[in-house]
Chains A and B, each alone.
Chain A
């Protein structure tokens, strides 16, 4: 997986450098360093060092490569998926309702043995957060695209 990550980074570095050389000027008309000056230095350096790291990674023997732990991956992927769903819910139902749904579902998955406690937390935490952000700090909470009838 580290190899895949490095390949993605390399692709990003190549694209970044391509834009730096194609769209951004190295010098201004008056001969001063232009908007492409720094990006070109960064892009070329990023390509070289990522390539170097990738080649080293490819040369590693089977024993030296990282071992994956399927159970550890499962838990973290579940949490990531729930977090991404929460981002979508925030847009749809706004800060308070999305948080209640997210906490309710997440706690039911992660903390199955205490359903009543989960339910209480799924209501109390969003309530506390609402009071803190909306009432005390007068800060913005995400508005709902669709209002739920509650």
Chain B
């Protein structure tokens, strides 16, 4: 009953007119971010984070969260109509989404993806409502050793998921950790890597780096890939089809797919480093394995669209659990969200829900409302998003540069940070080009100072002995879970990619 009362309290916070407006704007902007190929939720969040500075913290966090999960809805529209995923988590949606559109079923595919996203997102929020307090309860016994291990678990699982380029991922993470050490050491007061600059005493700020890497870096990379030259001639004309709405058979045949993939996506989302992309690929592969119509996958099977859509939305909800209850982001997007919390002076962790019930439960309640809003937007505003898809990248690109630059400047009115953002953009481009991982860098930049503080506290407690990590039961449990994930995740990743690859070939 406590959970229900807390949720009602959260709902009363979330449904204030101004918060509803922020939620609506966030959902809409999230859809737009998702629709633009080359920009994922992390880019959208990083670019728009400065815009929220004038807002009330609860409204700002609700809006940013809506951008985060709203991007999952938007990314599929281009997957279906253009065979171009709006972001990586909707790659699997192209396998059957585009063939469905080519077969004259673009309308039903668009509605079904909205429905599947809604189911995945809502099941994910229900599971957050039930599990987040339990996670917070368990994590109360955690001390510095456990926090250090959790941060390492987040990094290691992310690096494992990078696959064959893991060494480049490690280098990216080390760059992030190194940047995190710049500034005054809070324990001794000694300056580190500031080179006499007053601007660097407070450390390298997270926002310019994130905006540069995800905003400008991705834009440069999109230009390198010639996205600014491609038109939208291949867009499927869904409005000329006979039937827009799905049939009852579409819903009936995919109802169990939605249930299975919601749970699968949520579980994968909770694992730090795994994220929505892996969840969607795994869901697709799993569904293909259990389906009676597996031979139709890749040729326009509705379950093949519903599975990844349900999973990626459930995963984005699942990723909120380690963020809210442990203060550990599992992905670049949640790292940006964590940075937003920190900017507002809020520190997610075991006591976060207890100390900030209005914000925590307001956020959870807003996710229920956000999914409803997104369901409506993603069905009835499709013509608007189609118009947006038609805006050429060569026009969109320069506008993104403007928003990145002015957004960065607006945070601290600092030209140094603005120049840092441009530098991060150029570095981010080379990182993407040569197979490095900007996400690992950003995650390490956020986790680095937390991990360092926890490690130094641990070493102080243990008087320099690393044995403390196996002497404490919670630490040992985290080590065992990490080892299990390191063994299991590459296998699951391979399973997902192999089956998805076969489906892609079948469809092409």
Asked whether A32 lies within 8 Å of B456 as measured between CB atoms, the reply is yes
**Contact A107 to B193, CB < 8 A, known contacts A39-B181, A42-B178:** no
Asked whether A84 lies within 8 Å of B406 as measured between CB atoms, the reply is no
B54 at the interface (CB under 8 A from A): yes
**Contact A46 to B174, CB < 8 A, known contacts A87-B419, A142-B418:** yes
**Which chain A positions have C-beta within 8 A of B219?**
79
Asked whether B216 lies within 8 Å of A139 as measured between CB atoms, the reply is no
Residues in A109-150 with C-beta less than 8 Å from chain B: 110-111, 121, 125-126, 129, 132-133, 137-142
Residues in B275-311 with C-beta less than 8 Å from chain A: none
Asked whether A72 lies within 8 Å of B226 as measured between CB atoms, the reply is yes
B220 at the interface (CB under 8 A from A): yes
**Which chain A positions have C-beta within 8 A of B226?**
72, 75
**Which chain A positions have C-beta within 8 A of B181?**
38-39, 42
Asked whether B54 lies within 8 Å of A90 as measured between CB atoms, the reply is no
Q: How many chain A residues touch the partner (CB < 8 A)?
A: 61
- In the bound assembly, the distance between CA atoms of A126 and B403 in angstroms comes to 10
- In the bound assembly, the distance between CA atoms of A103 and B405 in angstroms comes to 13
- Count: A-B pairs, CB below 8 Å: 166
Asked whether A35 lies within 8 Å of B402 as measured between CB atoms, the reply is no
Asked whether A121 lies within 8 Å of B406 as measured between CB atoms, the reply is no
B137 at the interface (CB under 8 A from A): no
- In the bound assembly, the distance between CA atoms of A28 and B402 in angstroms comes to 46
Overall SS of chain B's interface = helix
B224 at the interface (CB under 8 A from A): yes
Kindly report which residue of chain B lies nearest to residue A24, judged by CB atoms: B192
Asked whether A50 lies within 8 Å of B405 as measured between CB atoms, the reply is no
- Residues 18-44 of A, flagged 1 when their CB comes within 8 A of B and 0 if not, give 010000110010011111011100110
Asked whether A139 lies within 8 Å of B50 as measured between CB atoms, the reply is yes
- In the bound assembly, the distance between CA atoms of A33 and B144 in angstroms comes to 14
Asked whether B402 lies within 8 Å of A140 as measured between CB atoms, the reply is no
Q: From B392, B401, B456, give the contact of A83 (CB < 8 A).
A: B401
Asked whether B406 lies within 8 Å of A83 as measured between CB atoms, the reply is no
Residues in B27-73 with C-beta less than 8 Å from chain A: 50-51, 53-54
Asked whether A28 lies within 8 Å of B224 as measured between CB atoms, the reply is no
B394 at the interface (CB under 8 A from A): yes
Asked whether A33 lies within 8 Å of B460 as measured between CB atoms, the reply is yes
Q: From A56, A75, A121, A133, give the contact of B410 (CB < 8 A).
A: A133
Shortest beta-carbon distance from B424 to chain A in Å: 12
Asked whether A95 lies within 8 Å of B452 as measured between CB atoms, the reply is no
Kindly report which residue of chain A lies nearest to residue B415, judged by CB atoms: A91
Kindly report which residue of chain A lies nearest to residue B430, judged by CB atoms: A5
**Which chain B positions have C-beta within 8 A of A39?**
178, 181, 192-193
- In the bound assembly, the distance between CA atoms of A10 and B286 in angstroms comes to 42
Selected interface stretch from B183-191, B359-367, B482-490? B183-191
- In the bound assembly, the distance between CA atoms of A133 and B175 in angstroms comes to 32
**Which chain A positions have C-beta within 8 A of B406?**
95, 99, 129, 133, 141-142
**Which chain A positions have C-beta within 8 A of B223?**
72, 75-76, 79
Shortest beta-carbon distance from B423 to chain A in Å: 9
**Which chain A positions have C-beta within 8 A of B399?**
103, 121, 125
A–B complex contacts, Cβ < 8 Å, 14 sampled: A5-B434, A31-B464, A32-B459, A38-B455, A39-B192, A45-B170, A83-B401, A90-B409, A102-B402, A110-B228, A111-B394, A132-B51, A141-B406, A142-B409
Please report B residues at the A interface, Cβ cutoff 8 Å.
50-51, 53-54, 167-168, 170-171, 174-175, 177-178, 181, 185, 187-188, 190, 192-193, 216, 219-220, 223-226, 228, 392, 394-395, 397-399, 401-403, 405-406, 409-410, 413, 415, 418-419, 422, 425-426, 429-430, 434, 448, 452, 455-456, 459-460, 463-464
Q: With contacts A95-B409, A111-B394 known, what are 11 further pairs, Cβ within 8 A? A: A9-B175, A33-B464, A34-B185, A37-B455, A39-B192, A72-B226, A87-B418, A102-B401, A139-B51, A139-B54, A140-B413
